[in-house]
Amino acid sequence: MLTLASEVEVLARFGRALADPIRCRLLLALREAPAHPSDLAEQLGVSRTRLSNHLACLRDCGLVVAVPVGRRTRYELADPRFAHALDDLRSAVVAIETDRTCADAADKGCC
């Protein structure tokens, strides 16, 4: 059982993983289907080196796993529940984005 402190740490780690647009795109791509790094690099339009660094970050965060397939490695979400969590999070963020209630959002840069 996680303590409150460890729950906060896990959520913060997840937040750091989502803080980068490439990692977000990677997670959304892997939500659709497992993939090999070369295919992901092409799909996202980034170099293999850059992609490798982002995959390492997501692996270290425990969000994706590397699965050996012959001489190649395939990446997939570490837990199928992440796909549902990403869908729920994306839906919530889109709903918030379309219904901004903070009148000063543009001036304050807060929302």
20-61 pLDDT, tens per residue?
999 999 999 999 999 999 999 999 999 999 999 999 999 998
Distance, CA of 104 to CA of 35 (rounded, Å): 42
Distance, CA of 33 to CA of 19 (rounded, Å): 22
Distance, CA of 44 to CA of 18 (rounded, Å): 16
Three-class SS state of 74 = strand
**Whether 29 contacts 35, CB under 8 Å:** yes
Percent of the chain surpassing pLDDT 70 = 85
Residue 53 DSSP symbol? H
Q: What mean pLDDT, rounded, does the chain reach?
A: 87
